[in-house]
Structure 1
Amino acid sequence: MVARPDPVSLNPYDPSPDATTPEHPTTWWTAASRSARFWSKATAIYGGYKLAQARAALLRASGRDPDWIAREVWEPQHAAAAADMHRLCLSLRGFYLKAGQFIGARGDFVPRAICERLSHLQDRVPPMEPAAAARLIREQLGGAPLEAAFDWVELDRPLGAASVAQVHRARLACRRRGPLARLAGLVWPRFRGLVPRAVGAADDESGACCRRLDMWRACAAAPPDAVVAVKVQYPAALEDMSSDLGNLRLLAAFLSKTEMDFDLVSAVDELADQIRLEFDFKREARVMQAVADQLQPLRSKIQVPRPIPGLVTNRMIVMDYIKGIPITRLGSHTGSMSASVRQMASSRILHRVSEAYGHMMLLDGLFQADCHPGNIIVMEGGRVGLIDYGQSKKLPDELRRGFARLVLALHREDDDEIAAALAGVGVVVDRHDPALAAKLAYGMVDPFDPDSPIKKLGVTSFPKDMFFVLRVCQLLRGLSVGMEVDGFSAADQWEPLARQALAAN
């Protein structure tokens, strides 16, 4: 039998060759029902805003005070829309949940009522029933009982539940740890391909043998207490999201033409390109390992979980457990601090998150692109854990260098240089206006006033690859506002990294 290559030999960003067919196909009537429910609610929300716009215009024309209009018209409208959006995201899940998470993280421009309501989607999504989660984990263990791999799994208290998967804390059943396990970890990659079954295969003799060997290897790589996180994929999630993206593309095209002069369709198209990769957990494990290696110089500030070898399938990842609290709950833990101490702690955490993303994007180009606060964990001592690598992006070297030039131009505050660098990364606008282009670029990278230049400048083309860079910058902007960190500038913090990126080429 020809040996199969071990997965670690693949480029981290490449899809796994065996990540193909869905395990739980969605019927056409289920997809149609989801689409109908989405459009029914989306048109109702949109219609509510158009009616509020008309009412506000009439009241302004009659001389009503703007503060009264804001209080009596817009605040109730935002509250009603927030409740409708929240219900829509939770009832349909899929990509709508992802969109809700992103909107809820944008405290810099999203109305407060909507931001506060949708921010609950970061880490308060109702999970699967424990029995359903146990069944999915057993499937990925090839039908073996959970006790074959774990001493215990906290099925009734997931660490998190989101749009693609949910995560449980567990402890590996590492009763055979020691020299034999370490030896297995060294020799296992050489002959694994000779064994016809692996974790997730049918429960036959060779599969059981392979599982035992994988457990030896897993225990060799496990943390000292053997406590890990188990991420398991929801059934039918891939099919639901594929359908959802089609609906969102239509909505993006409509809004681009009627409400704002911005290329929203390219953003949705880039998400469509990424969506299948997010369901390839073997690929996610490779990206996670690569990013952990990449950020090793920042290990005193940043921790990235590493996958546990031998316990990774296309639909399950066992990885290091990151102990801490989501950044969304940081406020409840710092309320007793003085204002100055709280400000100092918030600033340090934000700068560590920013440094990690700058390091990923500018120096290597491979970065975690599912940017919402639920994926940021504040650990004891102020270290920051970055989790969830299902959505990741690898910037082409030329674009990575172009982004480095844009960062340097922003740091130097030269409008002409900023406009040229913006064009250099492929952002196309309707008219030549360096000052307005510079304001657009500052809006991408740093906090700025609410008067967005997007409508004035007319962004007709926004490169797909740059969309995820924009998402990172928007995450940092939202965090700086939510954490009340004044004077934060990603461009200033990234300036040394941008110089290093250009000097290395």
Structure 2
Amino acid sequence: MWRLRFPSRTFFAIKDGKALYPSLDSWWARTRRTPVASQPHTTRTGTGARKERDGAATTAAQPQRRAHSAHIHPLLPRVSGRSSLAQSARPAADAMPLALAQLQDLRERISDRLRPWSRSAQFWVRAADIYTSYKVCQLRAGFVKDEEEREAMWEQQHELGAQKMYSLCYELRGLFLKAAQILGKPDLAPMAWVKRLVTLCDRAPATPYDVVRDVVEKQFGKNFDDIFEFFDVEPVGSASIAQVHRARLKLSKTDVAVKVQHPGAEHLMMVDIRNMQAMALFLQKYDINFDLFSATKEMEKQICYEFDFVREARAMERIREFLRVTNKKPPVMVPRVIPGMVSREVLVMEFVKGTPIMNLGNEMAKRGIDPGGKIAAMAKQKILSDLTLAYGQMILKDGFFHADPHPGNILICKDTEVALLDYGQVKEMPEDLRLAYANLVVAMADDDLLRAEEGFRELGIKTRTIADNKLEELFQLSLRMFDTRMPPGVTVMSPFADDSSLTKIGVESFPEELFSVLRTIQLLRGLTVGMGLIFSCAQQWRPIAEEALLRSGRIRASQPKQKRSFLRRLFW
């Protein structure tokens, strides 16, 4: 336990019965040492030279005055007799910078101890404000009969809520920046939220350059200037866990991206996830018929993995090699890890130059291409098709996939080539779960209600409903959760909407291992809606899913429809 003691003439901290900063006591002892024996005081005049510690000489002769008071400040040494105040105060003056530094260090330690509590308090106050404001608006809207007036009320509330959520995520940063990536999806949140939260992808505060140098030197055990010929002081981007700098290696002259972890970020993110888990339990009890807590538990595991860059480097190389051997030309580009330049907190990889996918429209306009024209639509369709093909192969064929396709991690390079960045969040699905999901993909592509129900059972998703058309509602829920397809005329698929399947079918239990798949699909759907396209990943993935089922022996002779469909897609 920490506690502070404030004796009459010193200041120190005690932890577990041991005093910290004992040098403060020794400093006090030095400044309180017994003065020279008193002599009859006489007034002296004249000049004299005394030597400073650095050897410089100064004139210090002044008439000496008798101390007019016996009450001297306790932090100054007492003087008597022939000892002058200037001579006796010199040890104290030398010790003051050390004491101030120690006091500053103590203050920072106490601040570090209190920061999680302060952070939690800020989160709950702000979250409660957003939640209650929406509940009040919901109550008021219930008394308004005019549809346009009710819509205006909600639009105003969405603007206010978006501003508050932006402030929460921007000021607290950490895990809340990741939450903003999900909440800011155009297919899930109101447009006011999307416009505000989409700007938070790379807005985390940057670690100072001198700290970055220290981290790199400590992790690699080499002098910073011996590693890099050039190192951009300003980061290319800064996220919740790390920031990325552009640099050039000194020996090979290769342009690289250097990913450096933010010191102390891991502890604060663990505090954030605990708060989000408590909020999830509250929401699923009173508002949302979905097992949110299991989702946050899986998120907790993934976040712990993200702080290990050695694991991330291995994941990059595995996915890069898998896509290379699976395709004549990989549908997406995966950066190459620089051998021998990986540690737990620093990762060096090849630098990929491209345009963030969120800026694709502006880039097309600069090149004289109408973002809403046919050429732009064809380019967007190819980009989305390549990206989702890579995900279909990773999830259904290998079971090991990149689980963080938010807009900040996707670059568009020359000739519409897609580069997929940041492999901190990857997931390996168990074999039985991968095949069960493949079965559900086929069911969604074929609009097979019975097979979709079977897929839910195989995946371990437990639901409850009192709806008469249970199969239809369950199928609609599967589309909302696991396909990028949007119903005709629908641009927002909010779980809070009156027609949402979650209001009719409650998800009592959801496998933690499946959350990464769910999150990936939701992010891909957000990209689909944001690009203004109509696209079903289930229909694109159907041949891959059928191949996985065929190889496993899941497609039997009693299922000729699936076999014919599979053969038709291969040869026609």
Q: Which residue of 2 aligns with 1:401?
A: 435
Contact 2:323 2:330 in 1 (8 A): no
Alignment of 1:91-240 (within 5 A): 91-104=171-184, 106-142=185-221, 144-156=222-234, 158-174=235-251, 219=252, 226-240=254-268
TM-score by length of 2: 0.72
Given candidates 273, 278, 302, the residue that maps to 1:245 is 273
Given candidates 124, 137, 151, the residue that maps to 1:39 is 124
Task: Quote the Cα distance in structure 2 between the aligned partners of 1:401 and 1:342.
Answer: 36
Task: Quote the Cα distance in structure 2 between the aligned partners of 1:126 and 1:243.
Answer: 18
* 378-387 vs 133-142, greater mean Cα deviation: 133-142
1:322 shift after superposition: 1.4
1:370 match: secondary structure = coil
2:171 match: secondary structure = helix
Alignment of 1:9-88 (within 5 A): 27-58=112-143, 60=144, 63=145, 65-71=146-152, 73-88=153-168
Q: Show CA shifts across 1:363-404 (max 9, x none).
A: 111111123111111111111111111111000011011111
Q: Show CA shifts across 1:325-376 (max 9, x none).
A: 1111111112332311111111111111101111110111111112311111
Residue 96 of structure 1 aligns with an amino acid whose one-letter code is F
Task: Quote the Cα distance in structure 1 between the aligned partners of 2:181 and 2:523.
Answer: 11
| Structure 1 pair 499–25 and aligned structure 2 pair: CA distance change class (3 A) | farther
Residue 159 of structure 1 aligns with an amino acid whose one-letter code is V
1:475 shift after superposition: 1.2
1:481 shift after superposition: 0.6
The structure richer in helix per residue is: 1
Contact 2:401 2:427 in 1 (8 A): yes
Given candidates 312, 319, 322, the residue that maps to 2:352 is 322
| Number of equivalenced pairs | 424
Identity %: 40
Task: Quote the Cα distance in structure 2 between the aligned partners of 1:268 and 1:149.
Answer: 40
Task: Quote the Cα distance in structure 2 between the aligned partners of 1:271 and 1:94.
Answer: 13
Contact 2:484 2:525 in 1 (8 A): yes
Residue 470 of structure 1 aligns with an amino acid whose one-letter code is L
| Structure 1 pair 27–437 and aligned structure 2 pair: CA distance change class (3 A) | same
TM-score by length of 1: 0.81
1:276 match: secondary structure = helix
1:504 match: secondary structure = helix
| Structure 1 pair 25–262 and aligned structure 2 pair: CA distance change class (3 A) | farther
Contact 2:294 2:511 in 1 (8 A): yes
1:66 shift after superposition: 1.6
1:77 shift after superposition: 1.6
Q: Which residue of 1 aligns with 2:473?
A: 436
Q: Which residue of 2 aligns with 1:192?
A: none
1:448 match: secondary structure = coil
Contact 2:405 2:524 in 1 (8 A): no
Contact 2:341 2:347 in 1 (8 A): yes
Task: Quote the Cα distance in structure 1 between the aligned partners of 2:529 and 2:484.
Answer: 11
Task: Quote the Cα distance in structure 2 between the aligned partners of 1:371 and 1:254.
Answer: 28
Task: Quote the Cα distance in structure 2 between the aligned partners of 1:140 and 1:472.
Answer: 32
Residue 521 of structure 2 aligns with an amino acid whose one-letter code is C
The answer on 1:291 being equivalent to 2:291 is no
| Structure 1, gaps ≥5 residues long | 1-23, 175-218, 220-224
| Structure 1 pair 26–422 and aligned structure 2 pair: CA distance change class (3 A) | farther
Task: Quote the Cα distance in structure 2 between the aligned partners of 1:51 and 1:437.
Answer: 31
Residue 123 of structure 1 aligns with an amino acid whose one-letter code is D
Given candidates 473, 476, 479, the residue that maps to 2:527 is 479
1:428 shift after superposition: 0.8
| Structure 1 pair 425–152 and aligned structure 2 pair: CA distance change class (3 A) | same
Alignment of 1:342-381 (within 5 A): 342-381=376-415
Task: Quote the Cα distance in structure 2 between the aligned partners of 1:100 and 1:405.
Answer: 32
Task: Quote the Cα distance in structure 1 between the aligned partners of 2:256 and 2:163.
Answer: 36
Larger Rg: 2
Task: Quote the Cα distance in structure 1 between the aligned partners of 2:344 and 2:271.
Answer: 21
| Structure 1 pair 26–135 and aligned structure 2 pair: CA distance change class (3 A) | farther
Contact 1:231 1:316 in 2 (8 A): yes
The answer on 1:383 being equivalent to 2:417 is yes
Q: Show CA shifts across 1:68-120 (max 9, x none).
A: 2222x22222122212212211221111111112212x211201011111100
Contact 1:416 1:434 in 2 (8 A): yes
| RMSD (Å), alpha carbons | 1.8
1:430 match: secondary structure = strand
Contact 2:484 2:528 in 1 (8 A): no
1:458 match: secondary structure = strand
Task: Quote the Cα distance in structure 1 between the aligned partners of 2:347 and 2:416.
Answer: 26
Residue 136 of structure 1 aligns with an amino acid whose one-letter code is V
Task: Quote the Cα distance in structure 2 between the aligned partners of 1:390 and 1:375.
Answer: 11
Residue 526 of structure 2 aligns with an amino acid whose one-letter code is G
| Structure 2, gaps ≥5 residues long | 1-108, 488-492, 494-498, 553-572
| Structure 1 pair 67–139 and aligned structure 2 pair: CA distance change class (3 A) | farther
Contact 1:25 1:236 in 2 (8 A): no
Contact 1:134 1:155 in 2 (8 A): no
Task: Quote the Cα distance in structure 1 between the aligned partners of 2:514 and 2:155.
Answer: 34
| Structure 1 pair 28–226 and aligned structure 2 pair: CA distance change class (3 A) | same
Residue 248 of structure 1 aligns with an amino acid whose one-letter code is M
Q: Show CA shifts across 1:467-502 (max 9, x none).
A: 11111111111111100012x110111011112222
Q: Which residue of 2 aligns with 1:193?
A: none
Contact 1:245 1:268 in 2 (8 A): yes
The answer on 1:496 being equivalent to 2:543 is yes
Q: Which residue of 2 aligns with 1:341?
A: 375
1:300 shift after superposition: 4.7
1:32 shift after superposition: 0.6
1:25 shift after superposition: 12
Given candidates 464, 469, 494, the residue that maps to 2:512 is 464
Task: Quote the Cα distance in structure 2 between the aligned partners of 1:408 and 1:308.
Answer: 40
Task: Quote the Cα distance in structure 2 between the aligned partners of 1:446 and 1:310.
Answer: 40
Q: Which residue of 1 aligns with 2:485?
A: 447
1:295 match: secondary structure = helix
1:26 shift after superposition: 8.9
Contact 2:202 2:238 in 1 (8 A): yes
Contact 2:290 2:507 in 1 (8 A): yes
1:138 shift after superposition: 2.7
Given candidates 298, 302, 305, the residue that maps to 1:270 is 298
